[in-house]
């Protein structure tokens, strides 16, 4: 950084204090990056972005109160000049697609090296995209596989309701209470869902439905 240039001002949002401290430490080892604020949830991130107007917001996906996807949408609606870099442990294609559709400029895994993450911050600040190489390779592979895959029979409305509740972490009994049906009926719907999606578990069924665009990509954590 030259004497006349300003550092890249970064907002760092992650709900784990130890993780934030580690990221901040190596980011600020770069002489052209300055972390101006930290947030431990999505709502706090929005308030601090409003207050500090950073050049780049570095966001985790899963945060309390508002996800990284929610914050990205808010940034694009209210502060279009702020670059958004997602820094997360999640490498699932639905998450990647969701944040990119929301308007994120980059998506990097926490397993990336400090040098790669610093480069991603610089790329986003420069107006370029920053996508983790392993994520890009995985997306291309899944797109290729999807083109060769047979058509999947659509879920019925009731099956979609059941699987949505599965994705929100509901048990079979809780799903039955929510929908006014018996546990046995829920089990029957799940059997049909697993068969249609060629899934061997609740998690796999949810992720398959998300990848097909049948469920929203930003469902909360679900039972395996």
The verdict on residue 65 lying in a domain is yes
The verdict on residue 27 lying in a domain is yes
The verdict on residue 3 lying in a domain is no
Buried b (16+ CB within 10 A) or exposed e, 51-66: eeebbbbbbbbbbeeb
- Which CATH number belongs to the domain containing residue 175 in this structure? 1.10.10.10
24 and 77 share one domain: yes
How many whole angstroms separate alpha carbon 6 and alpha carbon 35?
13
> What is the DSSP secondary-structure string of the chain?
--TTSPPEEEEEE-S-HHHHHHHHHHHTTSTTEEEEEEESSHHHHHHHHHHH--SEEEE-SS-SSS-HHHHHHHHHHH-TTSEEEEEES---HHHHHHHHHHT-SEEEETTS-HHHHHHHHHHHHTT--EE-HHHHHHHHHHHHHHHHSPPPPPPPHHHHHHHHHHHTT--HHHHHHHHT--HHHHHHHHHHHHHHHT-SSHHHHHHHHHHTTSS-TT------
How many whole angstroms separate alpha carbon 177 and alpha carbon 183?
9
User: For the segment 185-199, what is each residue's pLDDT rounded down to a tens digit?
Assistant: 999 999 999 888 888
Higher pLDDT, 16 or 221: 16
Buried b (16+ CB within 10 A) or exposed e, 12-48: bbbbeeeebeebbeebeebeebbbbbbbbbbebbbeb
How many whole angstroms separate alpha carbon 118 and alpha carbon 125?
11
- Domain end (from 143, 169, 184): 143
User: For the segment 59-90, what is each residue's pLDDT rounded down to a tens digit?
Assistant: 999 999 999 999 999 999 999 999 999 999 98
The verdict on residue 116 lying in a domain is yes
172 and 122 share one domain: no
Average pLDDT, rounded, for the chain:
86
On the question of pLDDT at 125 being above 80, the answer is yes
The verdict on residue 224 lying in a domain is no
The verdict on residue 170 lying in a domain is yes
Q: Quote the distance between the C-alpha of residue 173 and its chain's center.
A: 29
- Domain end (from 84, 110, 143): 143
Structural domains of the chain, count: 2
- Asked if 106 and 97 count as a contact pair (C-beta separation under 8 A), the reply is no
164 and 198 share one domain: yes
Structure confidence at residue 138 (pLDDT): 62
Structure confidence at residue 202 (pLDDT): 82
Among 60-64, 81-85, 94-98, 150-154, the range scoring the smallest mean pLDDT is 150-154
**Which tokens sit at 200?**
């061997």
- Asked if 26 and 60 count as a contact pair (C-beta separation under 8 A), the reply is no
The verdict on residue 150 lying in a domain is no
Is this structure's pTM higher than 0.75?
A: no
pLDDT > 70: what percent of the chain? 87
80 and 170 share one domain: no
Note down the domain range covering 186: 157-211
pLDDT category at 100 given cuts 50, 70, 90 is: confident
């Amino acid at each position: 950084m030259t004497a006349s240039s300003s550092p890249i001002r970064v907002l760092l949002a992650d709900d784990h204090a130890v993780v934030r401290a580690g990221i901040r430490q190596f980011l600020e080892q770069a002489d052209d990056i300055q972390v101006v604020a930290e947030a431990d949830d999505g709502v706090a991130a929005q308030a601090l972005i409003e207050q500090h107007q950073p050049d780049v917001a570095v966001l985790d996906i899963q945060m309390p109160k508002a996800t990284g996807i929610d914050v990205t949408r808010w940034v694009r609606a209210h502060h279009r000049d702020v670059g958004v870099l997602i820094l997360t442990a999640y490498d699932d294609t639905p998450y990647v697609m969701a944040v990119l559709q929301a308007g994120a400029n980059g998506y990097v895994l926490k397993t990336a090296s400090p040098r790669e993450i610093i480069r991603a911050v610089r790329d986003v600040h420069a107006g370029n995209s920053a996508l983790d190489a392993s994520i890009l390779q995985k997306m291309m592979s899944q797109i290729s596989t999807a083109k060769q895959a047979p058509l999947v029979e659509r879920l019925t409305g009731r099956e979609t309701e059941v699987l949505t509740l599965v994705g929100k972490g509901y048990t079979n009994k809780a799903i039955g209470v929510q929908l006014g049906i018996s546990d046995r009926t829920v089990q029957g719907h799940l059997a049909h869902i697993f068969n249609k999606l060629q899934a061997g578990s609740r998690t796999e069924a949810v992720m398959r439905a998300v990848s097909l665009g049948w469920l929203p990509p930003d469902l909360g954590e679900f039972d395996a």
